[in-house]
Structure 1
């Protein structure tokens, strides 16, 4: 007997794949600055860092992505992302990644009018979560799917980067990510619920969880003359 997979499952895997050419491999998600500051030294501190990032920056990104996938105004969402990103270095990074993601998504899902409009409205790039939500929409995915990808990216990048930064055992690093899976699911659901509220109440209904150390670390990292990752 043949079982038909849920619609969009393959597209979700494509979008969440770390090999998707959206530029994320060049960024550590704040892990490089945290390693230098001594806040990440091994698997336990990596888990603590990722958990904190997931429930702050990850939740915000997931909600923005879900809202974009739901069809909320990208310009309003981009402004909301700006307001939730105090550090200029992180805003610049988010737009650079958004531009690359939009370019990749338009190549993969050509003809999508939402992605074309986003590229025209933001030639220097919209915030990455907004671009991610529109890419998910172009792929036929829903708000929860977009939120899940954003939540996963918020911790997957730092985990991968830490393997290179510390020479951490890849098995131990991946175990950190796997143990966070239930929380990833929880954050994705919370983000999708927030996006639903924002459909009626506007972007102000989206989470604005703060992560001051990430902001401070990102701004300091941008001034380093030598670094392994772009952010």
Structure 2
């Protein structure tokens, strides 16, 4: 794998993802995640819904002829929860800032100028991948991986799960990650972006935003 892809996938890359649980914190409070098996079920559902949609958007944004304005609108239409939209743009803004420092590129500058509040995170991720010399397929893989790695890592802190067990959950998901990323990249190449929905993630996001005490920003 290209070193740039490894850097973008690294949780230490200053893109802000470490502060977000991807819906896991609300799912833990609701009792939907309580052990490694329920975490695996949550991550599988997230991968095939929000993950696939994000992967296709990222792949489309990584194409040389990407229309990022249209893709940002498409991301907005696929994010019905206001809390989720705010989170996506906040993460997109942080990622764009980090990417512009790491891989200066006119596409990143144009995206920043067009979305001063921040583009949606998958659009920023795909554009960053293009700036780093990566392919749309690479961008799809990165987005699919992010869709499960963040929540999994959050559950180590939220539930005190054994990190070895959590790593094993992610390892068992690897074949599905590859399949979802490949399907998403093919969707993007055809221009048929998926709109897989996850209503519970939307509901949990709205509930989570109202909490006065929380460990994660989302």
TM-score, L = length of structure 2? 0.99
1:29: Cα distance to partner?
A: 0.4
Q: Tell me the distance in 2 between the aligned counterparts of 1:174 and 1:39.
A: 19
1:154: Cα distance to partner?
A: 0.1
Select which of 77, 85, 108 maps to 1:115: 108
Q: Tell me the distance in 1 between the aligned counterparts of 2:79 and 2:204.
A: 13
Q: How many residue pairs get matched? A: 217
Select which of 44, 47, 68 maps to 1:51: 44
Which residue does 1:80 correspond to in 2? 74
1:19-69 CA distance string (max 9 Å, x none): 110000000000000000000000000000000000000000000000000
Q: Within 5 Å, give how 1:77-226 maps onto structure 2.
A: 77-110=71-104, 112-198=105-191, 205-226=192-213
Which of the pair has more CA radius of gyration?
A: 1
1:72: Cα distance to partner?
A: 1.8
What is the RMSD of the two structures over their aligned residues, measured on CA atoms? 0.6
Q: Tell me the distance in 2 between the aligned counterparts of 1:123 and 1:47.
A: 36
Q: Structure 2: which 5+ residue stretches go unaligned?
A: none
Which residue does 2:10 correspond to in 1? 17
Q: Tell me the distance in 1 between the aligned counterparts of 2:185 and 2:22.
A: 22
* Displaced runs of 4 or more, over 3 A: none
Q: Structure 1: which 5+ residue stretches go unaligned?
A: 1-5, 199-204
Q: Tell me the distance in 2 between the aligned counterparts of 1:115 and 1:72.
A: 12
Q: Tell me the distance in 2 between the aligned counterparts of 1:164 and 1:65.
A: 28
Which residue does 1:202 correspond to in 2? none
Q: Tell me the distance in 2 between the aligned counterparts of 1:143 and 1:77.
A: 14
